[in-house]
Amino acid sequence: MSPKRIYNFNAGPAALPRSVLEQIQSEFLDFKGSGMSITEISHRSKWFEEVLNDAVARTKRLLNLDDRYKVLFLQGGASLQFAMVPMNFLSDGRTADYVNTGTWSTKAIKEAKLLGKNIKVAASSEDRNFAYIPKNIRFTPGATYVHITSNNTIKGTQWADFPDTGTVPLIADMSSDMFSRPFDAGRFGLIYAGAQKNMGPAGVCLVIVREDLLKLVPETLPTMLRYIIHVENNSMYNTPPCFSVYTAQLVLKWLDETIGGLDKMARINQAKGDLIYRMIDDSGFYRGTADADSRSLMNITFRLPSEELEKKFIAEAQGNDMGGLKGHRSVGGCRASIYNATDLKAVQTLVDFMKQFESQNG
């Protein structure tokens, strides 16, 4: 009997490709003839080094990264990067701009201020409860970097186009839309992304850093918090989260070989988003919470006419094998997270349910 699988709309940890889960299952007890599980082998073994090096190579190929960029797989999640970025790059006398577009941007700003770093909030959408992405931003001349959050899981907004920062490098938290679309990585000095949204299980954070920024890293930082140490040791200064890296490598392989790259993935994601947004826009029952030109293709947030109906909608969806549709606890409402591994069939099933629910409760 096949195991029961529901349509997974969770915001993270989130859906993984079924083929990846099946491969993990098939080789979990004996990884590549080692006689051991991937969770048991040495991180210094040939087996794990092949996994790590392949994950690095596929990351660089999918994003068209040149030799200036170093790819790391670190622990601590994106939340640790909120502190590591300013610790590594903002020594005395340096300043950075931050754009505040929601909860995770707010947390990144808070960490930088906690460290006493000189930062400026160059723009914010807090005035309208983070329902939009700011435009026409005036950045600080000579800033060391500009920090943005590319996609906002809680508020359902996303940068459609990244801001023009001139010669100032962009730094981005891409935790929830990494590998969902192609973009010009050459404009970025550093990119970080927690895996559990769109790339794998929790436990590892992808960090891509341009080598010219490494000269800014002070030697006085604790060793584990210095990017250059992780670069010099190929992410293995200490024992890495081997299972999480292995799963991420399989997801990257799926994106590369099964999907066929980020251009094709982007077209699929656009089709999924269009289905749900069209349903919302054509309805007088559902109401999207993000401005139309700032809508996320990863996290679609919406409200119903009342909280009672929202609770009923979520419960009945769960009863129809659609999980994870409850909005974040800080904002309520409903949210459909449609990351790469959530396929078009799942989205069409949700839209059909939305139509049925409206006809019965509208």
Mean pLDDT along residues 54-73: 98
Claim to verify: residue 280 and residue 255 sit in the same structural domain: no
The one catalytic residue among 104, 177, 272, 326 = 104
Instruction: Assess whether 343 carries a catalytic annotation.
Output: no
Residues across the chain = 362
Claim to verify: residue 290 and residue 241 sit in the same structural domain: no
Range of the domain at 147: 21-259
Mean pLDDT along residues 215-240: 97
pLDDT at site 3: 83
Domain finish residue from 259, 286, 306: 259
Claim to verify: residue 287 and residue 147 sit in the same structural domain: no
pLDDT at site 125: 98
pLDDT digits (tens, 9 = 90+) for 304-326: 999 999 999 999 999 999 999 99
Claim to verify: residue 76 and residue 200 sit in the same structural domain: yes
Domain harbouring 349, CATH code: 3.90.1150.10
Instruction: Assess whether 47 carries a catalytic annotation.
Output: no
Domain harbouring 129, CATH code: 3.40.640.10
Residue 290 confidence (pLDDT) above 90: yes
Mean pLDDT along residues 285-296: 98
Claim to verify: residue 87 and residue 173 sit in the same structural domain: yes
Claim to verify: residue 59 and residue 161 sit in the same structural domain: yes
Task: Give bridge partners of residue 98 from the DSSP assignment.
Answer: 121, 147
50: Cβ contacts below 8 Å, ≥ 6 apart: none
CA torsion 54-57-58-62 (nearest 10°) is 180
pLDDT digits (tens, 9 = 90+) for 65-113: 999 999 999 999 999 999 999 999 999 889 999 999 999 999 999 999 9
Claim to verify: residue 130 and residue 115 sit in the same structural domain: yes
Q: Structural domain tally of the chain? A: 2
Burial 70-90 (b: 16+ CB within 10 A, else e): bbbbbebbbbbbbbbbbbbbb
The one catalytic residue among 173, 177, 254, 256 = 173
Claim to verify: residue 238 and residue 267 sit in the same structural domain: no
Residue 35 confidence (pLDDT) above 80: yes
pTM (two decimals)? 0.97
Domain finish residue from 259, 294, 323: 259
Instruction: Assess whether 159 carries a catalytic annotation.
Output: no
Residue 36 confidence (pLDDT) above 80: yes
310 located within any domain:
yes
The one catalytic residue among 197, 256, 272, 326 = 197
206 located within any domain:
yes
Q: Compute the distance between CA of residue 273 and CA of residue 267 in angstroms, rounded to an integer.
A: 10
Claim to verify: residue 104 and residue 139 sit in the same structural domain: yes
Claim to verify: residue 205 and residue 224 sit in the same structural domain: yes
Claim to verify: residue 232 and residue 311 sit in the same structural domain: no
Confidence label for 1 from pLDDT (cuts 50, 70 and 90): low
Q: Compute the distance between CA of residue 342 and CA of residue 124 in angstroms, rounded to an integer.
A: 31
Beta strand extents in the chain (DSSP E only): 7-8, 69-74, 95-100, 118-124, 145-149, 151-152, 157-158, 170-173, 188-194, 205-210, 287-288, 299-303, 322-323, 334-337
The average confidence (pLDDT) of the chain is 97
pLDDT digits (tens, 9 = 90+) for 183-214: 999 999 999 999 999 999 999 999 999 999 99
Domain finish residue from 259, 292, 322: 259
137 located within any domain:
yes
Mean pLDDT along residues 10-30: 97
